[in-house]
Amino acid sequence: MAYQLINGKQIAKEIRLELKHEVEQLKAEGLQPGLAVILVGNNPASETYVRGKIRASEEIGIHSQLIRMNDTITQEDLLSKVRELNEDPNIHGILVQLPLPDHINPDKVIEVISPSKDVDGFTPINMGKLVIGQRGLLPCTPYGIMQMLDRTGISLEGKHAVVVGRSNIVGKPMAILLQQANATVTLCHSRTVDLPHYTRQADLIIAAVGKLNLITKEHVKPGAVVIDVGMNRNDAGKLAGDVNFEEVAPLTSAITPVPGGVGPMTIAMLMKNTVSAAKAIWQR
């Protein structure tokens, strides 16, 4: 069966181009959006992702500042840095790259980020707004997936969406957004008994676990749409998702690849949130 390969890389490129034009206009009016990225330590995966974020900012014309901190830094010093950025008028978006070293409590760090500069959408205020349906900054990965589905013309109304993974940064906000788009949502996790029983009923599967090849052909109903959030390394050391692409893709009506699917959308939405934050802060 022919399936549609959802080209997240291309959709993300289009969004970045739209943002570039918007930033050109804002700059002409005297506003340059600014993003600060804090990277603690030198985890190689984090280095790659942060580089992607800085590169996208430069391309769009967003002022970016990369703040590197040693992994021996104290939690208090990290909190002070965030508070300083909260007060910096040239910075409209603050992102603290996760994961953080074990001696730092990520919840404490996220909590001090000003909600109006929280371009990850991770603060309790923005998470709370999401849950009660108020406008706020949305978490980039679920937001990017919603944009990707929308721009691909995949409707959600009345569909059964099964989200696998319940993290605060992907699975949980994803389930909320899908439900707000009138899908019927099932949220699965590591204690789910008989995962394929649920995923086989899905019109849309969102796999956000972090386990190579977790989703096989036995998990998928013919014609389903499959979105792969996972970022894993396979035996050959290559990036691969949670979905066994080779065997699953022919069963689907549409599927995202890894790389080139959800990842680039996440970065595009970070850029979108930074522009939105800049406009909102500027207007008040």
Q: Which parts of this chain interact with Mg ion (CB under 5 A)?
A: 258, 261-263
Q: Among candidates 1, 2, 19, 3, which has minimal Cα distance to 265?
A: 19
Which among ligand NDP, Mg ion, ligand GUE, none contacts residue 34 (Cβ within 5 to 8 A by kind)? none
172 noted as active-site residue: no
Cα end-to-end span (Å), the chain = 53
CB of 193 to ligand GUE, least distance (A): 29
Beta strands 184-188 and 63-69, pairing class: unpaired
* Assigned token pair, 127: 């998470």
The catalytically annotated residue of 81, 117, 120, 242 is 120
DSSP class of residue 261 equals S
Residue 38 in the binding site for ligand GUE (CB under 6 A): no
Residue 120: active-site member? yes
Edge-first strand listing for the sheet containing 160-164: 4-5, 254-255, 225-228, 204-207, 160-164, 184-188
Give the x-and-dash track for 199-238 against ligand GUE (CB under 6 A): --------------------------------x-------
Q: What residues form DSSP beta bridges with 207?
A: 164, 228
- Exposed / middle / buried, residue 151 (Cβ in 10 Å: 0-12, 13-18, 19+): middle
Active site residue 97: yes
Residue 126 binds which of Mg ion, ligand NDP, ligand GUE, none (CB < 5-8 A, kind-dependent) = none
What are the residues binding ligand GUE (CB under 6 A)? 48-49, 52, 95-98, 120, 140, 231, 239, 258-260, 263-264, 266-267
Any idea which residues carry the catalytic annotation? 53, 97, 120
